[in-house]
Structure 1
């Protein structure tokens, strides 16, 4: 069996998440970590966990230095900023991927199989997602995610990114027609969003909602409802266990005897993994980079496309808030 080539990583930034991803690089079988970055010819790729306001500058510099870019989410403050990053990556032939770790867990593929099963799930009709956690006083005062000059999108960018990605994932990345922000989002004194939500509507009648907050108890839920089945996930961002994760699938459920029992209860599906989801993310990114470096492959366009669609929905939520919670149409 041929030996898997090792891709050498550098890190630009010192956010807390950098420690987790640095561990993931060590766990991934085809990646190694280097401290020297943009000018080091031995560095193949960079992980960028900087505040969002710095993403354009450093991601573009990395791409122009021929370094492949693993960029922490949210990818940018606006889709137009993100387009600058993608243009730099494409023109320099480097791979782009954002740091949405749960996408790489094998549970996600198993859930996709259920959603794609016409006999068990049917046609998707609604998606509802939540990501909230109760931040402490120090976080609410000092964290970069509450500073307008660092991460101006606040909870919408940090937590809402995951919620929107989950909605788009469930909808096979079909963008909604309109997005309407929920009224009365909670802001800090600097105007950064601490809590917000929105509803999304598609032309075929599908609907979705999400809520994100720094001010309420930890919740990481997806509920996807089809004409025949329902998917429930309670820890979609960070699984309760590192080596396994579960979801619940229900098909043609119903009540019997005046709601005293279920005719068919949801079934629990447990999916095991040999390495954590963040290591799987790094390993997949490193595989794509290795294919480019050693096999003259082209960068995979799936990942920047998904990132841009997620950013477009965040932009629409922000625009709806600014326009007095009016519906905003999404333009690709």
Structure 2
């Protein structure tokens, strides 16, 4: 079988800014190829293809439907506003296209369940676009968090993702529009914080979510800044803060009975092809309590491909297993997506109910 035949052919549905990054990632992934792009405007699709490395023979369409109707498209990347996900992701699945779906995956878990049902019915792979999950650093972090001798039992997790959006963003970006991305900063930035918390907790769902005091909303009622605390029955606790109104920060602190993990760039690493985290075990002071006798150690993991290309490569690998080897779709990724959405939904409900605790149920 020729190499070009084994590569998974991607169609890009929509020309959002994030699609530039993922189009590059598709080009970099060794088992994927940019095959088509569709926009509501043919001129916009043509300009996007020309500016983002699409090959000369790539198909350019003036509608989303045309990409889904192209029999040569194996998979679609979908960076559409969250309010459009359930419509277009379910249609893509029904047309037999594997779906790489931007986060947040839906406006709520019930909508996401519709997407999952459509993908399962058609036997197609579903994965969300949480890129940092595919960085090799994340696997190394997980190894440390799972090490009973070095980290011990997880007790608390604290995460933060903020960035200072400019006036144009706060006025015009789809993430502040109630009809496009009504989840605001909670869906855009909080998604990453919640995912990091769940990763540290080995994807065990907390029992309750309680929103923090003082959420900030714009005049249209979309969240610009918020946070929450999460609680488990065994006493684990977590907090997170997400905002469009504060300086760029991407932190994880996970504390166990024996160790602590610190990460300062968990979503987008400082450097494209290497990423670090800090780990400490059984930390202590010196005799005079003037310094640490065992400071945290820095662990740096290098990668040949950036994390977004590794995401595309893993997704394409799963699609190829289905296409060429008659494998079943991998359920791990939609399961993780759904748990993230459930926690997000509970935090949103807590804000809407005056910051009261909200139960989280699968």
TM-score scaled to structure 1, two decimals? 0.98
Give the total of aligned pairs. Answer: 332
Distance in 1 (CA, whole Å) between partners of 2:233 and 2:288 is: 36
Distance in 2 (CA, whole Å) between partners of 1:287 and 1:255 is: 48
Q: Which runs of 5+ in 2 are unaligned?
A: 37-58, 60-66
Counterpart of 1:101?
131
Distance in 2 (CA, whole Å) between partners of 1:43 and 1:119 is: 48
Deviates more, 1:29-38 or 1:155-164: 29-38
Q: Please point out which of 316, 323, 334 is paired with 1:286.
A: 316
Distance in 2 (CA, whole Å) between partners of 1:179 and 1:124 is: 18
Q: Please point out which of 173, 194, 197 is paired with 1:143.
A: 173
> What is the DSSP-based 3-state SS (H/G/I as helix, E as strand, rest coil) of the residue aligned with 1:321?
helix
> What is the DSSP-based 3-state SS (H/G/I as helix, E as strand, rest coil) of the residue aligned with 1:76?
coil
> What is the DSSP-based 3-state SS (H/G/I as helix, E as strand, rest coil) of the residue aligned with 1:239?
coil
Distance in 2 (CA, whole Å) between partners of 1:319 and 1:230 is: 31
Can you list the C-alpha shifts for 1:268-326, whole angstroms capped at 9, x where unaligned? 00000000000000000000000000000000000000000000000000110111111
Q: Please point out which of 97, 108, 112 is paired with 2:142.
A: 112
Counterpart of 2:26?
25
- Following superposition of structure 1 onto structure 2, how do residues 254-269 of structure 1 map, counting pairs within 5 Å? 254-269=284-299
Distance in 2 (CA, whole Å) between partners of 1:239 and 1:298 is: 33
Can you list the C-alpha shifts for 1:197-224, whole angstroms capped at 9, x where unaligned? 0000000000000000000000000000
- Following superposition of structure 1 onto structure 2, how do residues 321-332 of structure 1 map, counting pairs within 5 Å? 321-332=351-362
> What is the DSSP-based 3-state SS (H/G/I as helix, E as strand, rest coil) of the residue aligned with 1:210?
strand
What displacement does 1:257 show?
4.0
What displacement does 1:34 show?
1.6
Counterpart of 1:6?
7
- Following superposition of structure 1 onto structure 2, how do residues 197-216 of structure 1 map, counting pairs within 5 Å? 197-216=227-246
> What is the DSSP-based 3-state SS (H/G/I as helix, E as strand, rest coil) of the residue aligned with 1:314?
helix
Deviates more, 1:16-25 or 1:257-266: 257-266
Counterpart of 1:191?
221
What displacement does 1:263 show?
1.2
**Larger RCO, structures 1/2 (Cα 8 Å, 6+ apart):** 1
Distance in 2 (CA, whole Å) between partners of 1:121 and 1:157 is: 30
> What is the DSSP-based 3-state SS (H/G/I as helix, E as strand, rest coil) of the residue aligned with 1:254?
coil
What displacement does 1:3 show?
5.7
> What is the DSSP-based 3-state SS (H/G/I as helix, E as strand, rest coil) of the residue aligned with 1:145?
helix
Distance in 2 (CA, whole Å) between partners of 1:34 and 1:81 is: 29
Q: Please point out which of 272, 292, 302 is paired with 1:242.
A: 272
> What is the DSSP-based 3-state SS (H/G/I as helix, E as strand, rest coil) of the residue aligned with 2:180?
coil
Deviates more, 1:267-276 or 1:35-44: 35-44
How much is the aligned-residue C-alpha RMSD, in angstroms? 1.2
Counterpart of 1:182?
212
Q: Which runs of 5+ in 1 are unaligned?
A: none
